[in-house]
Chains A and B, each alone.
Chain A
């Protein structure tokens, strides 16, 4: 828009000097097609369909009732299985296990979680349990990092959560006391080993 045209619009609108100045700042935006464009109507339908799909639980066929004797036995087996799995996952927190709360950044404000850290003979075992972190889309993945206060990061593993799980075991070959911050970044499958700037979750021990 030419200055003459802008002057015409400002004066024709009966604006004072300060309002003319503000109008001058936004006149380019008012003249752009992108400012006035509308999303296609089907976006609303797709949005509601996507949200509906995420809310609706899967419908399962009603199972046939089992004989009475099955239930106590099944309960024993289930309990034993749960104990084994929980032991493998290290859910029974060991005395020397440190738990660090991690939270979603502005990229994923709804995500929450914790990292349980335990020293082993192979390095530091880290179990990451999160809530509401969406699965990484195809072509991307999540990467865990431990980060020093000097700005050095060491990768502790990659994962994608596309199977529906929200828990993963990662490993650190460096002492978390030297690298106290825990980050989760979103990475592209581009062969670049350095951390992206898309930090989706972050945490560090409260004492630090």
Chain B
């Protein structure tokens, strides 16, 4: 697939996009805090990746390479937007996150995307929606015991995926 991506093969470009659209969009959103700008950043990231694909070494991990392009693209757009706003109007709370945080967002979203759907949903309902296991069971229409075991599996698998990324 990577060789075909380098050649600009449409199915390979789609496959790379499908694999990384979530993490790329997540870090674009964390930098830009705007859906439209993040969508533009995401599109530009994959165009740049395709343009630079002939120099990509398939022996290397693809994720860090895509991440580097995405991060710089989002920050470039952030800087352009900042320059178009009077300095008095710049809200300090909209400063981009640190490089470590941006990488962590990319890692976490990449790991979440690799979870089975039902495990990812349990984690989302727990952490993002703030539901208890009883509430998750009611939401998903499954027994509380199933939610507990699924939550246990999901968290362990998520942390294992993150450990694998850190080791590579």
Contacts and interface: CB of A to CB of B under 8 A. Distances in A.
Interface of A: 1, 5, 8-9, 12-15, 19, 22-23, 25-27, 29-40, 43-44, 46-48, 50-52, 54-55, 104, 106-110, 112, 132, 134, 139, 188, 190, 198
Contacts of B38: 37, 39
A5 B80 CA distance: 39
Provide the main secondary structure of the chain B interface. Answer: helix
Interface string B65-82: 100110010001001100
B51 A134 contact: yes
Contact of B108 (A26, A43, A46): A26
Given A12-B148, A14-B152, 19 more contacts: A8-B132, A15-B152, A26-B108, A26-B162, A27-B127, A33-B128, A34-B26, A35-B108, A37-B26, A37-B38, A39-B21, A39-B42, A46-B43, A47-B46, A50-B43, A51-B50, A54-B47, A110-B53, A134-B48
User: 7 closest pairs, A vs B, by CB?
Assistant: A110-B52, A30-B127, A34-B29, A13-B155, A39-B25, A14-B152, A34-B30
27 contacts: A1-B127, A1-B130, A8-B132, A14-B148, A14-B156, A15-B152, A15-B156, A25-B104, A26-B108, A27-B127, A29-B104, A30-B128, A34-B29, A34-B30, A35-B112, A36-B112, A36-B128, A38-B21, A39-B25, A43-B21, A44-B21, A47-B17, A51-B47, A52-B10, A109-B69, A110-B55, A188-B83
Q: How large is the interface on B (under 10, 10 to 19, 20 to 34, 35 or more residues)?
A: 35 or more
Contacts of B83: 188, 190
A8 B76 CA distance: 40
B22 A38 contact: yes
Given A15-B155, A110-B52, A48 B39 contact: no
Given A35-B26, A36-B124, A198 B76 contact: yes
B35 A37 contact: yes
Contacts of B22: 38
